[in-house]
Structure 1
């Protein structure tokens, strides 16, 4: 009986937090405020909006410098927020973003939005790119050691594999791509690599079967994040079908884009502003009208017929890696933190 009551209370509060995100954001305060202030930090580096209120309060109490990493535009995230939710998030960002000494974000367009909407001046870019030196592997990823993308997918030598990397969820464009390859040669197959709720995967499988795609749609389990770009090298092209469902998606520059480029794969992307810009700058592939299935189909067919000539040059991939690798981003973060430490020291003199 007690377990059932707890379960119902948990569901009740979960539903309230869904409609009143301020409850969730401020629920972190009693848990973490004492720990943060007791630590007496010189800098607090907060990630995501849920960590910002308590971090701002602790920074004010301790005199710490406050750096905030805005991973995405919270007001414009997917799935779209309702009017009441959006008003709360907007109020929260307006109240606390201006208290930050530095706000970092993931692309130029997002930086421009934040600077315009909240009159921010001290902002910086930290791109969401993988490292070139790999990373530690959790035991959960051990089964993937030595794994082969084409072997795991059961592909034949002459199959043309489009790889989609990332979460299998709404507004990710997977159904869109399934409809586009339905009309294309049977050797063109879509392979996903990433997590997803079983119910979502089942829906996609059923949808693909209704389209008659059968073995042309393959879903693989996620691999160790630092190894993704090495694993997907066995594909023939990367497909990034982000749907412009919200402003956050319209200006998206996701890690799957960097993983595809680091893998040296030609990229077939929706013509969203940030990805389009880098595809043109580094000649990384082609892009299509994000809402036009026929245009997308034509670009996939072009990549299929020109699979060798469409590959990005080694020189361009090397230049792209040097600019965007996590090692380069890490150096930028350290520079920001050292600058903030120096400013704190000046304040204490």
Structure 2
């Protein structure tokens, strides 16, 4: 009997080529001989994907101020969704879903969620077969009404969010148990399967620690809520043996503001250009300790398990964090990091000052020991388990 290949449709609102979590899902599926199609922004076809269904351009009138006001102020939510997104989805992919051509339909973005209400596409047979939702973060219950546009748009996005608990989704996954608990409590759904944002295993060794020059590192988004201002404040008072490297992506104006602070105070801080996603571990391996000081300013920061945490494992770095619940659990399990006792700059300084050659070498060694377990290869098992797939 000829082998019947399974086919998956991966749906995402962000540019897929720049979304490591979605790229891993595609790789995992293709690695088990699934055929994969994708739906998302046009122009982001991933190598190995059979068909990428790019969204059409929205009608010009919907992008004008008057058009947006009309849509958000006057149209019912379901019609808003139809005008803003559903009509941009190619008819061919709708027909193929309805025809039952996909063994897995995987939603990766809450913006698309109301699409499941379309019974012509998601027929009872398709729903019974199973639709999976991978929700990457905690979507806030109430959109902040901090601008005129948000005042009108907020009720619509609150409505979209209600579909997270829709019973047409048979299985769900997310990035951290704390986020799963929030959704379980709110929607009365089954606990979500945890699939962490760990990158592939990389064969590396810990770099040696120079006791006279301890290398602190932050790599990632240039954002004040990621602890960068606190790190720069700490560098003003830390002993001379500590040096900081910032490898930043994001808004150039924000990066420039950090550069000005460093120059103004003549801090022992250098800026290094980022590397491609696949080369991050090798790029940051020469440093000693990754600092992730995320004040719990919102639910996603409170329960953060950021990509950089797992990239630090692959780079064989030690890890320094504040009292973040999810990260504390991981670092405590593998004994590969240090914990600041609170969220003040003085707490961060005290934690850094305790670091020395012996403790850092031990932490980096423990990251090395855990690197294979904290990798995409292990998380792949959880991914297939999340929707009842098999890794065999």
User: In 2 relative to 1, CA 193–55 (structure 1 residues): closer, same or farther, beyond 3 Å?
Assistant: farther
Task: Return the TM-score normalized by structure 1.
Answer: 0.76
Give, in whole Å, the separation in 2 of the partners of 1:257 and 1:329.
14
Displacement, 1:87?
A: 4.9
Q: 1:94 aligns with which of 162, 166, 185?
A: 162
Alignment of 1:1-349 (within 5 A): 10=63, 12=65, 27-32=84-89, 34-40=91-97, 41-55=102-116, 57=118, 58-60=121-123, 63-64=126-127, 65-75=130-140, 81-82=144-145, 84=151, 87-98=155-166, 99-121=168-190, 123-132=192-201, 158-213=212-267, 216-303=268-355, 306-312=356-362, 316-317=366-367, 320-339=370-389
**Cα distance in 2 between the residues matched to 1:177 and 1:24:** 42
Task: Check whether the contact 1:168–1:197 (CA below 8 A) recurs between aligned residues.
Answer: yes
Q: After superposing the two structures, state which structure 1 stretch, 246-255 or 115-124, moved more.
A: 115-124
Higher RCO (CA-CA < 8 Å; seq separation 6+) = 1
Task: Work out whether residues 227 and 293 of structure 2, in 8 Å CA contact, stay in contact via their aligned partners in 1.
Answer: yes
Helix, strand or coil at the partner of 2:359: coil
Cα shift at 1:170: 3.4
- Change over 3 Å in CA distance of 1:15–1:245 after alignment to 2: farther
Counterpart-to-counterpart distance in 1, 2:154 and 2:302: 18
Cα 1:238–1:108, aligned 2, differ >3 Å: closer, same or farther? same
CA distance in structure 1 between the aligned counterparts of 2:370 and 2:249, rounded to whole angstroms: 27
Q: 1:61 and 1:259 mapped to 2: Cα distance?
A: 41
Q: Give the number of the structure whose residues are more often helix, by fraction.
A: 1
Q: Does the 8 Å contact 1:282/1:316 carry over to 2?
A: yes
Q: Distance in 1 between the 2:346 and 2:82 partners?
A: 43
Counterpart-to-counterpart distance in 2, 1:39 and 1:228: 38
Q: Per the alignment, do residues 211 and 313 of structure 1 end up closer, same or farther by CA in structure 2, a change over 3 Å counting? A: closer
How far off is 1:187 after superposition? 3.7
For 1:59 and 1:258, locate their aligned partners in 2 and report how far apart those are by CA, in whole Å: 36
The gaps in structure 2 that reach 5 residues or longer are 1-58
Q: Is the 8 A contact 2:141 2:161 kept in 1?
A: no
Q: Deviations for 1:261-290, whole angstroms, at most 9, x for unmatched residues?
A: 222211111111001111111111111145
Q: Give the whole-Å Cα distance in 2 for the aligned partners of 1:231 and 1:127.
A: 22
Aligned mates of 1:30, 1:88 — CA distance in 2: 17
Q: Secondary structure at the match of 1:59?
A: coil
Is this contact kept in 2: 1:33–1:54, CA < 8 A? Answer: no
Q: CA deviation at 1:9?
A: 7.8
Give the TM-score, by structure 2 length.
0.69
CA distance in 2, matches of 1:125, 1:328: 12
Shift of 1:132: 1.1
- Partner Cα distance (2:383, 2:322) in 1: 30
Asked if structure 1 preserves the Cα contact closer than 8 Å seen for 2:62 and 2:84, the reply is: no
1:25: Cα distance to partner? 8.9
SS of corresponding position for 2:200: coil
Query: Structure 1 residues 266 and 317 mapped into 2: Cα distance closer, same or farther (>3 Å)?
Result: closer
RMSD: 3.4
Q: Which runs of 5+ in 1 are unaligned?
A: 1-5, 135-148, 151-155, 341-349
After TM superposition, the structure 1 stretch with the greater mean CA deviation from structure 2, 98-107 or 328-337, is 328-337
Gap change, CA 1:238 and 1:36, over 3 Å in 2 = same
| 1:67 Cα deviation from its structure 2 partner | 0.6
Deviations 1:94-115 (A, max 9, x none): 2343231111100110110111
Change over 3 Å in CA distance of 1:62–1:201 after alignment to 2: farther
